[in-house]
Chain A
Amino acid sequence: MLFATGAVGVLLRRNPLVVFMCIELMLNAGNLALLTFSRVHRNMEGQVFALIVIAVAASEVVVGLALMVAVYKSGRPMDIDEMSEMRG
């Protein structure tokens, strides 16, 4: 459910920061599913996976936000539809 909400948000919003936040929502939803299955099977693997997902998501946010700031400082179309060409 969380995943579906985040996915709709990624597709419908134009501000790239909000799109990033919806991606974080989807990652958190995946974590929740991982932990649920870890609890059901009484196994630590799901929790370790979820911890690594948190770490990877944090580093992805760092790189993505640095990219956003660089885009903002160069030109200024803070809009997903206009940023669709990677240049520079």
Chain B
Amino acid sequence: MSFFFALVFLLSATSALGVVVSRRPLYAALSLVVNMLSLALLFLVLSAQFLAAAQVIVYAGAVMVLFVFVIALLNPTRQDSPVRDPRQIAAAVLVGSGLVVAAGVAFVGEGRSASFSLPDTLPGGVQLGSIQAMGSALYGDFTFPFEATALVLVVAAVGAVYLSRGR
């Protein structure tokens, strides 16, 4: 089980590097698709079944398709020249290593609690992450965020239509 986890982790780390490093934006987009699919596998390990399916359908299926379409529209073979300014590179390396150190401190300081071995059922008998749990949470405790998200989506759609009107 943990071998599977290590494999998926390597896949997602490699594809994340692929997104950042690839010269052509199309390769970066494909790498991001691989990353999102590997994250969906990790979501399954974390017993978030509904979110794994939602990730595949929404993110890898719709958002990345949109990305690929826009890249194909905007000159896909264009090579991207990396930044030359050494101060910017130094700042990026500093930020990156600072974030990695912060993650390491958080990981080590928290202690390896064995909470993953607890059963993944919520009180009431439903399984954590199943459709039943998600539905009762969304329509029960989190009704307001749910409706607010619908409003956000409508606003985004209107904004996109307005921006693409072409003057």
Residues of A within 8 A of B (CB): 1-9, 11-15, 17-18, 20-22, 24-25, 28, 31-32, 35-36, 38-42, 44-45, 47-48, 50-52, 54-63, 65-70, 72-73, 78
Contact = CB atoms under 8 A, between A and B. Distances in A.
Nearest to B71: A17
Interface string B71-90: 10111001011110000110
Contacts of B43: 32, 35
5 contacts: A18-B80, A39-B120, A47-B137, A59-B152, A72-B73
Given A35-B51, A58-B63, A65-B66, A13 B159 contact: no
Say whether chain B's binding surface is mostly helix, strand, loop, or mixed.
helix
Contacts of A35: 43, 46, 48, 51
Q: Contact residue range for chain B? A: 35 or more
B156 A59 contact: yes
Given A2-B12, A39-B128, A7 B28 contact: no
B46 to A, nearest CB: 5
Nearest to B142: A48
A11 B95 contact: yes
Interface in B50-100: 50-51, 54-55, 58-59, 62-63, 66-67, 70-71, 73-75, 78, 80-83, 88-89, 91-93, 95-97, 99-100
A5 B20 contact: yes
